Structure 1
Amino acid sequence: MERATKGGIMISQPTLDLIPQSELDALGVVARRVRKPVFASKPTGIPPDLAIYRIKTVSESTAADNFDEMSPDAQ
């Protein structure tokens, strides 16, 4: 994990897969997929299909985020 520029915590899809949903619920957080590129340029060694997620508290979650969850391409 690393700190994001917006002050949040960013994790990769493989890391998120290792965290049980019950743990996220107990912490009161949700994972939202980042749609914009995280890196300024394409670093070598990073798979092009790597999904990055921002961890947010449930209170930070907005209606727009909930809409993204319902879209068919959201993961």
Structure 2
Amino acid sequence: MTANTVTGAGNTAKHRPDLGGAEWLSGSRGSGDVQIAFVDGCIAMRDGRQPDGPALIFTPAEWRAFVLGARDGEFDLG
């Protein structure tokens, strides 16, 4: 496995996009701690307080499942 390959759930290897020139976006609400970027057909998410730290990489299908789960309260702590 190369440095540009990420292993996700189910141990499926997928391409890790080059995030060097990514345009990171923050939400209009909150402190902008979570940032996302759309790069090479993937969605990257990182902690904006640690921009040199790691990023999570999602395929479009994974991102859709994440967003729909969040919208439905799947990740609520209460």
TM value normalised by structure 2? 0.33
Higher strand share: 2
Higher helix share: 1
Asked which structure has the greater RCO (Cα within 8 Å, sep 6+), the reply is 1
